[in-house]
Structure 1
Amino acid sequence: MTKIQLSPNRLLHIRKDLSPFNISNLNYCYDIVKPFFNFICNNKSSNYWQLSIQSDQHICYQLYSKNKKLDLFSRIHKDLQPFKNRTILLKDIENISNSCLGCHHIQIIQNKLYIVPRSTVSNYETRSRSVKLLIKHMMDTFSDIPDLDLFFHVGDAVELPKELNDVLFNVPIFAFTKSNTMRRGLRPDALVLMPCFTLWGWPEVRAGRWSKVFQSILNASRQIDYEKRVPKLFWRGADTWKRTWYINTAKQYPNTTDIETMNWVRIIVGLSLSVSNTYTTLEQHCNYKHLLHLEGNTYSSRLKYLLLCGSSVVYDPIEHYEEYWYHLLENGKNVIFVERINNEIAFNKTLQFLQNHENVTKEIGKQGQQLVQNYLNEHAVSCYWRNLLHEYAKLFGYKPTLHPNAIYIDDFILSNLP
């Protein structure tokens, strides 16, 4: 079995003997170059990490598949199941390229990341660049990614020409979200879920680099004990059709809810922007015992931020749009699932439960926070990308070669390409 050895002289070695290597025994953990391994050095939950790169004992599996009930990577196998009996050929890559004109095309060749520019790609804010940087960040940590061609879409839904939305192509399209109960755009079994762009950063809504926001919300949650938080169900956001009922209904429960529309910008005066008086930072959400999570037009990426507060999160999955990690959610353990829209009696019962079972809701909030800490930290996201690409690459029946227009990721970052 091939193992990775990290030595105190800052070198990364490959060794082929079978003797165990305990990374936790290194005396110079802080000298290790790669931050992923610094994380392991500082992780005191295990006395032994075997760093295998060619088996299911890879460090990613050890960190995030120890609890089979909460296996981070089980979604990968579920999403790729429709393609297990298919083989991706070069003609299939050409077909998906012509069919999904809004898709971004990347290549990994000899463990280097390349971007294939396409004038037709769908772009919104910094989403596509964030996905590419997430993949680069993962590849800066792991040097064993197989050669592949990959197409991803950055829209809330993957919209193809109408006659193609029911096609199961030989090549999956990578996307942020999908619903198995609602149909919008491409059929859900043709999509493979990838980490959301917000797990790199979302500067447009003042949620910057995920690793920093992650720590900032955690710090805010530690500043106020659960018992001292405002005992209301809190929500702020844009008014979409899925949210209107909650916004209107909450007006009848002013003592137990604080649910209002929040516009990012209230008025434009010259070039200066005035923030709405209902604007609430992600950190300020931690001042409330109970937080409401509602879908947007499709999904809403806010759930992970809310869970980090350690407050109990009430989630109504109205159209059941999911991100890649939602299978880790457990009703009554780390989140409170409700389906209350247009049902005021049921909504009132939920509010009564929140008010009368503080010990239960406190524990749910604690477990929700722990879920994000364990499975959505920066290193877990890199591990998910790594394992996802390994499984995806197994579908290939041809050897990918570098596209003539491909741009190396370092050159791409220095360009103004999206």
Structure 2
Amino acid sequence: GYAGRAEDKDIWLIPDFGYWSSPETKVGSMCAVQMKAALAEQVDGWPWQGKVKKILRRGATMGLELREKFLEVTRDEPWADVKALNWKDKDSMATDLKSMPEHCQYKYLAPTEGNSYSGRLKYLQSCKSVVVAHKMSWIQHHHPLMQTSGAQQDFVEVERNYEDLEQKILWLRNHD
């Protein structure tokens, strides 16, 4: 399967289809995403000091509690640029949708699980930004490699209810 939970011992995890191609608007293959992210950061001039000091998330909420809670916690916060997308609304698509390389303009990026795993996480990891993710219930093939602390730390983990999100974002901003 593409993902499983810790208790799913009989599932052999494999990379999802997004590594080869993605049906979502403005995404493309993993190789294309990585190439565009690298070019955007080098050529378009988004070095670390030039990135926006906010956490970014774009995506549909689909009425899911975890995503709705993220919107609630970040609403009107000066450290957040978070909007729910309405895929059927042309105005929302024209003004709110960000391409994957445009995500690289931000210092902090947030994946959120939906009905299962966050298909966006692998793309966000292509940016030279800090991934700030809630504790995940769904495990993908690469999750055992992700480190929440120590010399090899590669993302910041927050509680699933986001009670510590503001504290961790402010710490990151103050220790830039």
Q: Aligning the two structures, in what range does the TM-score lie when normalised by the shorter sequence?
A: 0.7 to 0.9
CA 1:263 to 1:225, structure 2 compared with 1: closer, same or farther past 3 Å? same
Residues 211, 258 of structure 1: alpha-carbon distance in 2 compared, 3 angstrom cutoff: same
- Residue of structure 1 equivalent to 2:37: 217
SS in 1 for 2:35: helix
* More strand, by proportion: 1
Question: Which of 12, 19, 27 matches 1:199?
Answer: 19
- Residue of structure 2 aligned with 1:323, choices 120, 140, 162: 140
Q: Distance in 1 between matches of 2:172 and 2:52?
A: 12
What's the CA shift string for 1:50-103, capped at 9, x where partnerless? xxxxxxxxxxxxxxxxxxxxxxxxxxxxxxxxxxxxxxxxxxxxxxxxxxxxxx
CA contact 1:263–1:276 (8 Å) conserved in 2: no
How far has the Cα of 1:274 moved from its partner?
7.9
Contact 2:56-2:110 within 8 A present in 1 as well: yes
Following superposition, the deviation at residue 231 of structure 1 comes to: 0.6
Which of 250, 254, 264 pairs up with 2:74? 250
Report matched runs for 1:4-83 at 5 Å: none
Task: Say if 2:87 is the partner of 1:264.
Answer: yes
User: What whole-Å deviation, never above 9, does each CA across 1:236-294 have from its counterpart, x for those lacking one?
Assistant: 111132110110121141x1111110233414xxxxx9834211111100111111121
User: Once superposed, what is the RMSD of the aligned Cα atoms?
Assistant: 1.9
When the two structures are superposed, what TM-score results if normalisation uses the length of structure 2? 0.87
* CA 340–176 in structure 1, closer or farther in 2 if over 3 Å, else same: closer
Q: Which amino acid aligns with 1:260?
A: K
3-state SS of paired residue (1:308): coil
Letter in 2 for 1:201: S
Distance 1:342 1:256, change over 3 A: closer
Uncovered stretches (5+) of structure 1, i.e. residues with no partner: 1-174, 182-187, 268-272, 359-418
Asked whether the equivalents of residues 265 and 276 of structure 1 are also in contact (C-alpha less than 8 Å), the reply is no
Offset, 1:203? 3.0
Structure 2 unmatched ranges of 5 or more: none
Contact 2:66 2:160 (C-alpha < 8 Å) held by counterparts: no
Residue 229 of structure 1 pairs with residue 51 of structure 2: yes
Greater relative contact order (CA < 8 Å, ≥ 6 in sequence): 2
Amino acid at match of 1:331: T
Distance 1:218 1:264, change over 3 A: farther
SS of aligned partner of 2:67:
helix
1:310 has 2:128 as partner: yes
Which TM-score applies when normalising by structure 1? 0.38
Distance 1:353 1:342 in 2: 15
Greater percentage in helix: 1
For 1:251 and 1:212, the matched residues in 2 are separated by 32
Number of aligned residues: 169
Tell me what 2:167 maps to.
349
Contact 1:233 1:258 in 2 (8 A): yes
Q: Percent of counterpart pairs with the same letter?
A: 27
The residue correspondences of 1:15-414 to structure 2 (distance < 5 A) are 175-180=1-6, 188-222=8-42, 223-239=45-61, 240-253=64-77, 255-267=78-90, 275-318=93-136, 320-332=137-149, 333-341=153-161, 343=163, 346-358=164-176
Residue 294 of structure 1 contacts residue 315 of structure 1 at CA under 8 Å; is this kept in 2? Answer: yes
Question: What is the alpha-carbon distance in structure 1 between the residues aligned to residue 162 and residue 120 of structure 2?
Answer: 22
Q: Report the CA distance between 1:190 and its aligned residue.
A: 2.0
Q: Distance in 2 between matches of 1:209 and 1:347?
A: 31
Q: 1:284 to 1:211 in 2, by over 3 A?
A: same
In 2, the alpha carbon distance for the partners of 1:200 and 1:296 equals: 21
Separation in 1, partners of 2:94, 2:138: 29
Q: Indicate how the Cα distance of structure 1 residues 266 and 276 shifts in structure 2: closer, same or farther if over 3 A, else same.
A: farther
Call closer, same or farther: CA 1:342–1:335 in 2, change over 3 Å: closer
Helix, strand or coil for the counterpart of 1:350? helix
CA 1:274–1:246 in structure 2 vs 1: closer, same or farther (change >3 Å)?
closer
Q: Judging changes above 3 Å, is the alpha-carbon distance between structure 1 residues 354 and 211 closer, same or farther for their aligned structure 2 residues? A: same
